[in-house]
Structures are given as C-alpha cells and as structure tokens.
C-alpha cells in the first residue's frame, strides 16, 4: 500500500465510464487519500458533481474562474501539493488536448499546471481508440511521462464488443497505489 494519506487530483472526463470514476473516488477516500475532483463540462452531463462532492467530502471544481474559493485561480490552487493526477475516464478529447498543450478548460489547464505524475485511464469506442490520431496522442503522452492503465477489451456502451472499455476501478486503484508508493 502507498504512503497514506496522499493528495490525489481525480479528473473526470465526459464519457459513460464517469460512473466508474465515482467508485474509484470512493475507494481512494476509503484508503484515506485526500481526493480533489475536477470535472469537465461534458462529464457533468454523465454524473452529477453532487455525487463526487459527497464521495470526496470536498467541493468539486468545474470552472477555470472561481474568485470566491480560489483567489489565485483553481488551476493554481488545486494543483498545489498534488501527489498524483488520475484522469478517468480519459476521453479522446482530453488525450488530444493534453498531448498538444491545449488549456481551454480547468481540467486541461490543471494538467499543464501540475508537476506530479499522471495516470490516464482511457475510455472510448473501439473506432475512436483505433484512430491513428488518438494513438499518436497516446504515444506523445507516454513520451511526456504519462502512465496508462487500459483500456480493456470488452463490452462497450455503444453495445458492441471491442477495445476501449475503461479499466475497472480496482485496477486503476492498484496502479495508482503502485505509483504513489514508488515516489
Ligand atoms: C453517450 C455518450 C457517450 C460518450 N462516451 C465517450 C467516451 O467513452 N469516450 C470519449 O472519448 N468520448 C465520449 N463521448 C464524446 C465526449 O463526450 C465528447 O468528445 C466531449 O467533448 C468530451 O469532453 P471532455 O473531454 O471535455 O470531457 C460520448 C458522448 C456521448 C453523447
């Protein structure tokens, strides 16, 4: 088990697998980690911020500008002291933005601001996962030092079997613990 408690920034992207990120959030909290959750606007369409707020015990960040709670901006304050950033589900969009230095929302700006290791758990349809543009972005992120867990082969929410299914929360957790313990 990793040293505890660690500070984990859990970034939730907009895909069906966002519901599995809620389970991951709960598991991390049960291991006594301090879990800060950031959700993309798209992710909020899949699982409500109230779920992650209750599970993490903290306010969920969604906006780049928030003068009330984060004087220097949430992209600065939320990145401070983070031991590990987990991106689950890592959408094709987030993967593309991270690989290309785009910072047009809070999640992608936090990715650029943080200095901690990053664990990505991609989730998308098999057709999206197969695209050379997505694979190029993955290779770029690997070269940039990001670690990946999954995706797995299996049943996809588009009701076909194939590669692109997000790894189960326990697999992501196991990998996260390994990364936290090897600091
Ligand atoms: C029902 C539904 C499921 C989706 N699932 C995924 C997915 O698993 N992976 C993905 O990359 N995009 C998926 N998308 C598309 C993303 O929501 C879309 O690309 C969005 O812009 C991603 O925004 P974000 O990366 O800021 O969260 C899905 C869209 C819908 C409507």
Half-sphere exposure at residue 140, Cβ-oriented, CA atoms within 13 angstroms? 13
- In the predicted model, what is the mean pLDDT of residues 109-127? 97
- In the predicted model, what is the mean pLDDT of residues 147-156? 92
pLDDT score recorded for residue 160: 79
Residue 137 has pLDDT above 60, yes or no: yes
Which pTM value belongs to this model?
A: 0.97
Report the distance separating Cα 152 and Cα 124, nearest Å: 10
Model pLDDT for residues 2-37, shown as the tens digit of each residue = 557 999 999 999 999 999 999 999 999 999 999 999
**Pocket (CB within 6 angstroms of ligand 1):** 13-17, 40, 42-43, 89, 91-94, 123-124, 128
**Closest C-alpha residue for ligand 1 atom 2:** 15
Q: Give, for 10, the enclosing helix (H) or strand (E).
A: strand 7-12
Model pLDDT for residues 41-92, shown as the tens digit of each residue = 999 999 999 999 999 999 999 989 887 778 888 999 999 999 999 999 999 9
Q: Give, for 163, the enclosing helix (H) or strand (E).
A: strand 161-165
pLDDT score recorded for residue 56: 98
pLDDT score recorded for residue 1: 54
pLDDT score recorded for residue 70: 80
Q: Domains along the chain?
A: 7-181 (3.40.50.1950)
**Closest C-alpha residue for ligand 1 atom 16:** 14
User: Would strands 7-12 and 84-90 be described as parallel, antiparallel, or unpaired?
Assistant: parallel
Of 52, 91, 103, 158, which is best to mutate to test ligand 1, by the most ligand atoms within 8 angstroms of its C-beta? Answer: 91
Closest CA to 106 of 78, 134, 140, 82: 78
Of 11, 12, 13, 14, which is best to mutate to test ligand 1, by the most ligand atoms within 8 angstroms of its C-beta? Answer: 14
**Closest C-alpha residue for ligand 1 atom 17:** 14
pLDDT score recorded for residue 2: 58
User: Hey, which residues are catalytic here?
Assistant: 158
Closest CA to 38 of 95, 77, 92, 81: 77
Residue 120 in tokens: 């990505």
Place of tokens 């600091």: 183
């Amino acid at each position: 088990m990793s040293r505890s408690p660690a500070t984990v920034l859990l970034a939730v992207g907009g895909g069906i697998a966002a519901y599995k990120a809620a389970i991951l959030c709960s598991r991390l909290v049960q291991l006594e980690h301090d879990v800060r959750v950031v959700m993309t606007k798209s992710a909020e369409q899949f699982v409500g911020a109230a779920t992650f707020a209750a599970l993490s015990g903290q306010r969920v960040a969604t906006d780049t500008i928030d003068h009330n709670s984060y004087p220097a901006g949430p992209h600065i304050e939320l990145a401070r002291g983070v031991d590990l950033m987990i991106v689950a589900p890592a959408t094709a969009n987030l993967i593309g933005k991270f690989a290309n230095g785009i910072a047009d929302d809070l999640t992608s700006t936090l990715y650029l601001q943080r200095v901690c290791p990053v664990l990505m758990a991609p989730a998308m349809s098999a057709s999206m996962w197969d695209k050379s543009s997505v694979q190029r972005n993955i290779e770029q992120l690997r070269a940039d030092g990001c670690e990946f867990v999954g995706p797995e082969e299996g049943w996809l929410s588009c009701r076909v079997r194939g590669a692109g299914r997000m790894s189960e929360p326990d697999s992501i957790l196991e990998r996260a613990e390994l990364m936290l313990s090897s600091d």
